[in-house]
């Protein structure tokens, strides 16, 4: 099983901190899972121009291909201007319309205030659904006050991230098994 942690913004440190902790958790709890980090701040990704993702070059191709090869993606996103950041939306635009078919996608969000709680529900999940993701419905919402000097200081957040990792692994494993059994039934 391959899981990619995607930190979806070029700005700030909270999302990266949360994704780092998430990836550490995956590694500790599931040593057999192959896990990779993509922090968009570290890559020079071009804007989508509509071509097939295989036809991009450099960082753009690497990021797109790594995501396409994953069984599960844990997206970390901040909230900018009452929405997801453009960097993250661009990733969706780079990929095919059914890019997340047979993939599990789970979400953690960092935000300045609790007023942004429903943005994932109203803006991010519809995109993931359209792209055919199997979504881990419960996401982890983390506020500014839960961080101190690039550490998560709220135990409740840590507990919730642990559960998110577990849910991601369980859903991926279950879904893959069910799909494989169903595909075997087709007999070809």
Helix pair 14-29, 155-186: axis angle to 10 deg = 60
Contact with another protein (CB under 8 A): which of 84, 99, 124, 128? 99
68 binds another protein (CB under 8 A): yes
Distance CA 106, CA 137 (A): 7
183 binds another protein (CB under 8 A): yes
Contact with another protein (CB under 8 A): which of 34, 42, 46, 49? 49
93 binds another protein (CB under 8 A): no
Q: How far is the CB of 161 from another protein (least distance, A)?
A: 30
Nearer to another protein, 16 or 103 (CB): 103
Distance of CA 183 to the CA centre of its chain: 26
Contact 83, 16 (CB under 8 A): no
Distance CA 172, CA 155 (A): 26
Structure tokens of 142? 């983390």
Residue (of 118, 114, 159, 168) closest to 21 by Cα position:
159
Contact with another protein (CB under 8 A): which of 27, 34, 58, 65? 65
Nearer to another protein, 67 or 108 (CB): 67
Using CB under 8 A, list all residues that contact another protein: 49-55, 65, 68, 96, 98-99, 101-102, 182-183, 186-188
């Amino acid at each position: 099983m391959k899981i990619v942690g995607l930190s979806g913004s070029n700005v700030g440190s909270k999302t990266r901190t949360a994704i780092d902790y998430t990836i550490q958790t995956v590694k500790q709890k599931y040593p057999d899972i192959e896990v990779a980090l993509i922090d968009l701040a570290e890559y020079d990704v071009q804007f989508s121009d509509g071509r097939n993702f295989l036809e991009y070059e450099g960082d753009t191709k690497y990021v797109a291909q790594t995501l396409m090869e994953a069984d599960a993606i844990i997206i970390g996103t901040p909230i900018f201007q009452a929405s997801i950041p453009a960097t993250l939306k661009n990733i969706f635009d780079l990929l095919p319309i059914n890019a997340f078919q047979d993939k599990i996608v789970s979400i953690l969000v960092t935000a300045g205030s609790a007023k942004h709680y429903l943005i994932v529900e109203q803006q991010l999940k519809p995109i993931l659904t359209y792209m055919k993701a199997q979504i881990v419905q419960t996401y982890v919402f983390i506020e500014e006050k839960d961080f101190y000097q690039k550490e998560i200081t709220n135990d409740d957040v840590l507990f919730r991230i642990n559960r998110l990792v577990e849910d991601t692994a369980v859903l991926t494993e279950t879904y893959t098994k069910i799909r494989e059994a169903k595909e075997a039934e087709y007999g070809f």
